[in-house]
Amino acid sequence: MGRAPCRSIFHIEQLSRSEEGWQANVRIDPRHPVFGGHFPGMPITPGATLVQLVQELLSQALDTDLLMREARSIKFLAPVDPTKWTELIWNLRVREEEGNILCDASGTADDRPFLSMKASFVRA
């Protein structure tokens, strides 16, 4: 599989099949340099990084490189402060339709939702 740019910020501790797709437990490295600039003194995990992480989780789950074709809906429901939330739980509901891989992803930390996303992907 190809590059995984988020791997230096996140560590995938577990990725397993669930009843409706995949579940992942991911840890954030709060010492990563990105948090020094986003934002100084008040770190927030960049939204683009969370979206990229969904693609990387899905690629690893399906054991194939993927490209996002369309983001139908991305809702950032709460800021992810890496000093408060170091463990993220992801649920990925996945189905394939007409060559597209459709994914409904949701992320929670401490039982609080922080992201909801619907996107389609294609094999790279």
CATH code, 114: 3.10.129.10
Calculate mean pLDDT across residues 120-124: 97
User: Each residue of 19-54: pLDDT tens digit?
Assistant: 889 999 999 999 999 998 888 889 999 999 999 999
User: Each residue of 50-102: pLDDT tens digit?
Assistant: 999 999 999 999 999 999 999 999 999 999 999 999 999 999 999 999 999 99
Domain that holds residue 76: 5-123
pLDDT of the residue at 4: 67
pLDDT of the residue at 2: 61
pLDDT of the residue at 115: 99
pLDDT of the residue at 8: 87
pLDDT of the residue at 1: 58
- In the predicted structure, residue 3 carries a pLDDT above the cut 80: no
Residue 73: C-alpha distances to residues 19, 43, 47, 109, 118 (Å): 23, 25, 13, 20, 5
The count of domains in the chain is 1
Tokens of 26: 């991911």
Among candidates 68, 66, 69, 92, which has minimal Cα distance to 2? 66
